[in-house]
Amino acid sequence: MKRLLSGNEAVARAAWEAGVKVGSGYPGTPSTEILEAFAPYPGVYAEWAPNEKVGLDVAVGAAYAGRRAFATMKHVGLNVASDAFFAVAMTGIEAGLVVVSADDPSMHSSQNEQDNRQFAKFARIPCMDPADSQDTHDLTLAAFDLSEQFDTPVLLRMTTRVCHTSSPVELGEQRINLPEPGKYPRNLTKYCMVPANAQKRHPAIEERMGEIAEYAETFAGNHIEWRSSDLGIITGGVAYNYARDVFPEASVLKLGMVYPLPQKMIREFASRVQKLIVLEELDPFIEDQVRLMGISLYHPEELLPAPSPYPMTKGIFPIAGELDPAVVRLSGRQAGLLPLADAGGAAQPMTGLPIRPPVLCPGCPHRSSFYVLHKLGVPVNGDIGCYTLGMVQPLDALHTVGCMGASVGVAHGAAVAGDKERHVAVIGDSTFFHSAIPALINVAYNRSNVITIIMDNRVTGMTGHQDNPGTGRTLQHKETKEIEIEPLVKAMGFEKVLTLPAFDVAAIEKTLKEWLKSDEPGVLITREECALLPSARNRWLPLEVVSDKCNGCTLCFRVGCPAILKSDVLDSKTNRPLALIDPVLCTGCEICAQICPRDAILFRNQVQNRKTAQEVAQ
């Protein structure tokens, strides 16, 4: 049976077919939907872990216990999980273990563009790199078999276009029936990586990679498509599609497993084509290995720029940004592989259009804190989540964003370095549980004066509403113990701990002003449900502007709410446009109503009263 599946759904389906018992991970675009799609299958256990390292440790634990398992994360999640990743590379497993990492070329929703195939080489772990959903399904199944055959974890490296593209998949009939595992292993030389054991394991790991490289020669996921011998393309991952679209006549060596490489297959392919190129996204990962084999790649020096002294350089295709047929075609033309473009024909882009960058949604509970922080003018160290958008004009209230959990440590660093200004760290609930707890312990332990705002919107927002330890619900939306932030923070050693309703602009401002005067650390929790949660949506009530009170002072525009517009009506005295509230977008959070100096924006109860009065009048 063929079904339309996204790459993420294909991983989930194949994991189920492969008899996987345990899936754990942390949400992160573009990987999030994998676990969400896996969780409803019968006979599986799936969970959101607080972070990727915990998620991978859990999967490792299941695989040690003889049950097939996988962990899912976005590319930067593997940085967090890398300690566990390197550790399990050394020990191997009792049952199949696959680590799914989704790279984000072009950084559609990420802070960097790291190519996680490099992690495979770094840790000595084989790596699968699928091209579409069917390929993902097949390579995921193969990954579990490979894992057990060679006693190794396997990295399944996805990319945004594979994760979020749907294409038909021929589904396997059913779930493999795996035998009940034996007793938990007591194999100290394999599973206790103390120096004496690790020193023996390392050469065995190197030997294992040699065996897998041999296996790669006949692995079904690696194959050659012979067409014209003029041009041969070695490719893997999503780039395979671009090779087929842009160079339909070329012979192609398609690598489903990009590490370790099938060297004999590559030599055979190279010897039978006139020109050989490597087409891959991001780093010259395959390209460098092929060069190291002493194989020369097509490189017309007269057409291409002189090679850079920097060793990580690609011959023909760009190293940064995702590829697409247009990019590949352009590079192909520059390298003399394709005829030059025909003149004209295509539409020119329209220039000078207003941009539509991501913004905090109307009714977002993060908005009020950023409005206050902007007003206070303090340096704010930010973190990863929706609230990163606090940096956007006109809120303009965030000065650093690096990686998950960095806000608190970065603010502490500035404080202990003696920066003259007081620092505020801003972090969301899910990111707090992910990696800010040790950083906050550090603030309390080493007594810097950092003020931390935990913006608790009761959900992991940016990735599309996942539950986390603070929501009181599991991945399956079942009720569970809700981990309370306040007692946790108090137990760390903070005396100043206060929770405020996130929409209370005046209280947030008053508290921050007071705390900034003292020299103590503090943790302010601003709490309000994400405006897009179903329970919050039920409370939406658009506010209204009283046009004879508004004089176009523009103060309400400074909250940066997409629901507040400039109307066509000008104030007779100030000659400035009056404010207008878009009833489709406004949720009635009242931030604008609170800051309006002329009471020109009606509060919810006023809107309600007005409606009731109108109904009565009718």
List contacts with another protein (CB under 8 A): 2, 4, 29-30, 108-109, 132, 160-161, 164-168, 238, 240-242, 244-245, 324-326, 329, 345-350, 352-362, 386, 388-389, 393-394, 461-462, 464, 532, 557, 560, 562, 565-566, 584
Q: Which is nearer to another protein, 169 or 523 (CB)?
A: 169
Reference 132, options 4, 321, 252; nearest CA is 4
In the structure encoding, which two tokens stand for residue 317, read together?
């295709």
Nearer to another protein, 111 or 197 (CB): 111
Q: Which is nearer to another protein, 330 or 546 (CB)?
A: 330
- Asked whether 20 and 144 are in contact (CB, 8 A), the reply is yes
| Tokens 């609230």 -> residue | 387
Instruction: Look at the block and give the residue holding tokens 């749907």.
Output: 166
Nearest-approach distance from CB 455 to another protein, in angstroms: 15
Gap between the Cα atoms of 582 and 12, Å rounded: 41
Query: Cβ 570 to another protein, closest distance in Å?
Result: 15
Which is nearest to 316 in space by CA: 339, 329, 335, 296? Answer: 335
Closer of 134 and 499 to another protein (Cβ): 134
Q: Six-digit token pair at 6?
A: 């996204």
With contact defined as beta carbons under 8 Å apart, do 106 and 160 qualify?
Answer: yes
Decide whether 248 or 487 has the Cβ nearer to another protein: 248
Name the minimum Å distance from CB 283 to another protein: 20
Euclidean distance between CA atoms 462 and 584, whole angstroms: 22
CB atoms within 10 A of CB 457: 26
Question: Least distance to another protein from the beta carbon of 253, Å?
Answer: 16
Candidates 424, 435, 320, 569; CA nearest to 28 is 435
CB nearer to another protein: pick between 305 and 354: 354
User: Cβ–Cβ contacts within 10 Å for residue 107, how many?
Assistant: 15
Q: What is residue 273's DSSP assignment?
A: -
Provide, rounded to whole angstroms, the least separation between the CB of residue 27 and another protein.
12
How many Cβ atoms sit within 10 Å of the Cβ of residue 129?
33
Beta partners for residue 255, in sequence order: 236
CB of 574 to another protein, least distance (A): 16
Q: What is the closest distance, in whole angstroms, from the C-beta atom of residue 59 to another protein in the complex? A: 25
Rounded least distance, CB 558 to another protein, Å: 10
Shortest distance, CB of residue 57 to another protein, whole angstroms? Answer: 28
**Distance (Å, rounded) from C-alpha 256 to C-alpha 262?**
11
Q: Looking at beta carbons only, is 294 or 352 nearer to another protein? A: 352
Is 554 or 605 the residue whose CB approaches another protein more closely? 554
State how far the Cα of 617 lies from the Cα of 605, in Å rounded to an integer: 18
Judged by CB, which is closer to another protein: 196, or 355? 355
Task: Report d(CA 438, CA 254) in Å as an integer.
Answer: 44
Rg (CA), the chain: 28
Dist CA 601 CA 20 (whole Å): 56
Please report where in the chains the tokens 């993902």 appear, as a residue.
Answer: 136
Q: Smallest gap, in angstroms, from Cβ of residue 392 to another protein?
A: 8
Nearest CB to another protein, comparing residues 83 and 582? 582
